[in-house]
């Protein structure tokens, strides 16, 4: 019984094993090869723009402090008492050109003018007297020379008669003495005539000295009056009415309101990029100044007050200051704003005045269109493209510079290629994508590149 029971269990195990093998063979025989169904994969949508060269406005930005183009430091060149002071000669007052601001007592210099004029009048009288004396001497000399000629002819005649015994020796000697006296008279007049030029030179020197004194006195008199040389804004005033001032003393300060200057600090690399598109009217070896080498009129300048929206002024590049800023190593570009007070509308649009901190924007159009993409579309030196098979392609590009959230591409990208402007995750190479051409974004890129909007 035990033996039969053992054989039964073995039979059951073998039967189960055979059944399992049969089922496994059935599954293997009916297996199916797995298929890759692309239609079942999720194709991510992406936004693309078409890369194309566009007109580009190169711009640089810098900061500086506004200052008047001209500042008048009124300093007394002569001494005197303040006898007149404009009632509005106070700090902050605007006064037009030609306004008399201050006057000193002129009496001392008026007396000096009168004395110099009197001396000149006396010297002029002496000069007329010398002219008359010269003319009289000339006439007298002519007469005396005629008398000398007669005396010498008479002496010759008497000498001939004395030789024949017709006249006495005493008569001959008397005629000789008369001829000598006449010759002496002629010599005296000739000497007097020769001295007249030296006397005239000395008199002219005295006249020149008196004229110089008169001119100095008149300049001193003019220096007693301080009139505005241009439309100005009064600064610090250090003088009061009836106060005695001395030569060299500072009286007041005034700033011209006709123009303002900003010495903006701009990075050298950015300025070189801007200057590369500015026309060159002369060759470098022919230019003595950088203003002659570059046509600054091709650069558009705009000045904006930092911290105040809408407070802007048009300007022009006047010059590039010598040397770099010693602290920042930046180039110092001087921008001039003409008539900064005329367009003022406080408080919305304040006046551009001394010590205001402003930003400066310089721009010039590139002579050739540039290939640009949004800066966000460049990922560590690469852009993502969509090829003709609607697959993502990664491309290495060379970026010349970034400006206004745009990257200027010089290598690695061709016009007409579709650039992905959003950020697909993950950006796998050759992955299938669903591109959407954003034409409005492309037009906005062109406007930003042209400097029309940000």
Q: What is the pLDDT of residue 372?
A: 93
Residue partners of 134: CB distance under 8 A and separation at least 6: 193, 196
Binned at pLDDT 50, 70 and 90, residue 108 comes out as very high
Match domain 75-102+225-255 to its CATH number in 3.40.50.300, 3.30.70.2700, 2.40.50.100, 1.10.630.10: 2.40.50.100
The pLDDT value recorded for residue 39 is: 45
What are the boundaries of each domain within the chain? 45-55+369-449, 75-102+225-255, 108-222, 259-365
* b/e code 111-135 from CB counts within 10 Å (16+ = b): ebbeebbebbeebeeebeeeeeeee
**Which tens digit of pLDDT belongs to each residue from 38-82?**
444 578 888 999 999 999 999 999 999 999 999 999 999 999 999
Asked whether the predicted pLDDT for residue 164 surpasses 80, the reply is no
Query: pLDDT tens-digit profile of 365-392?
Result: 998 999 999 999 999 899 999 988 889 8
Among 280-294, 320-334, 341-355, the least confident range: 280-294
**pLDDT band, residue 343 (cuts 50/70/90):** confident
Region 157-185: what's the mean pLDDT? 81
- At 273, list the tokens: 């990029």
Bond into 412 cis (ω within 30)? no
Tens-place pLDDT, residues 228-276: 999 999 999 999 999 999 999 999 999 999 999 999 999 988 888 888 8
Give the pLDDT band (50/70/90) at residue 161.
confident
Asked whether the CA dihedral 399, 401, 403, 365 is positive or negative, the reply is: negative
C-alpha closest to that of 353 among 322, 402, 393, 313: 313
Distance CA 319, CA 324 (A): 13
pLDDT band at 36 (very low <50, low <70, confident <90, very high): very low
The mean pLDDT value for 28-43 works out to: 55
Tokens standing for residue 10? 């073995």
Dihedral of alpha carbons 260, 261, 266, 268, sign:
positive
Tell me which fold the domain 45-55+369-449 belongs to.
2.40.420
The yes or no reply on domain 259-365 and CATH 2.40.30 is: yes
- What's the pLDDT band for 1 if we cut at 50, 70, 90? very low
Cα–Cα distance list, 59 to 62, 233, 297 (Å): 10, 33, 15
Q: Which is higher by pLDDT, 314 or 424?
A: 314
Q: What is the mean pLDDT of the chain?
A: 85
Query: How many residues can be counted in the chain?
Result: 454
């Amino acid at each position: 019984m035990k033996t039969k029971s053992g054989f039964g269990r073995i039979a059951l195990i073998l039967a189960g094993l055979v059944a399992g093998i049969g089922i496994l063979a059935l599954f293997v025989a009916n297996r199916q090869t797995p298929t890759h169904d692309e239609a079942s994969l999720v194709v991510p949508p992406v936004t693309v723009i078409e890369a194309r060269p566009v007109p580009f406005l190169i711009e640089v930005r810098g900061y500086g402090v506004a200052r008047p183009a001209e500042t008048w430091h009124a300093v007394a060149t002569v001494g005197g008492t303040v006898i007149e002071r404009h009632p509005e000669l106070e700090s902050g007052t605007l006064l037009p050109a030609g306004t008399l601001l201050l006057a000193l007592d002129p009496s001392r210099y008026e007396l000096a003018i009168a004395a110099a004029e009197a001396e000149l009048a006396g010297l002029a009288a002496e000069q007329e007297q010398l002219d008359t004396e010269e003319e009289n001497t000339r006439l007298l000399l002519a007469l005396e020379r005629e008398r000398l000629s007669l005396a010498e002819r008479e002496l010759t005649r008497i000498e001939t008669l004395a030789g024949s015994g017709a006249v006495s020796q005493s008569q001959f000697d008397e005629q000789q003495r008369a001829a000598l006296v006449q010759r002496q008279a002629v010599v005296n007049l000739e000497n007097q005539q020769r001295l007249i030029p030296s006397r005239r030179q000395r008199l002219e020197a005295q006249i020149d000295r008196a004229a110089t004194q008169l001119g100095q006195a008149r300049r001193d008199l003019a220096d007693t009056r301080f009139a505005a040389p241009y439309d100005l804004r009064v600064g610090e005033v250090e003088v009061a009415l009836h106060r005695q001032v001395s030569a060299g003393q500072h009286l007041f300060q005034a700033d011209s309101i006709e123009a303002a200057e900003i010495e903006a600090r701009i990075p050298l690399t950015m300025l070189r990029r801007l200057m590369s598109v500015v026309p060159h009217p002369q060759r470098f070896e022919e230019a003595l100044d950088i203003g002659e080498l570059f046509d600054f009129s091709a650069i558009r300048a705009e000045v904006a007050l930092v911290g105040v929206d809408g407070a802007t002024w048009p300007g022009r590049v006047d010059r590039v200051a010598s040397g770099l800023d010693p602290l920042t190593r930046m180039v110092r570009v001087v921008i001039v704003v003409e008539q900064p007070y005329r367009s003022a509308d406080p408080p919305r649009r304040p006046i551009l005045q001394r010590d205001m901190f402003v930003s400066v924007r310089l721009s010039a159009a590139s002579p050739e269109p540039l290939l640009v993409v949004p800066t966000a579309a460049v990922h560590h030196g690469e852009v993502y493209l969509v090829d003709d098979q609607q697959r993502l392609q990664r491309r290495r590009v060379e970026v010349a510079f970034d400006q206004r959230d745009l990257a200027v591409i010089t290598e690695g990208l061709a016009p007409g290629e579709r650039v992905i402007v959003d950020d697909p995750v993950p950006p796998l190479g050759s992955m299938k994508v669903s591109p959407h051409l954003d034409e409005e974004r492309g037009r906005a890129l062109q406007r930003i590149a042209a400097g029309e909007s940000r």
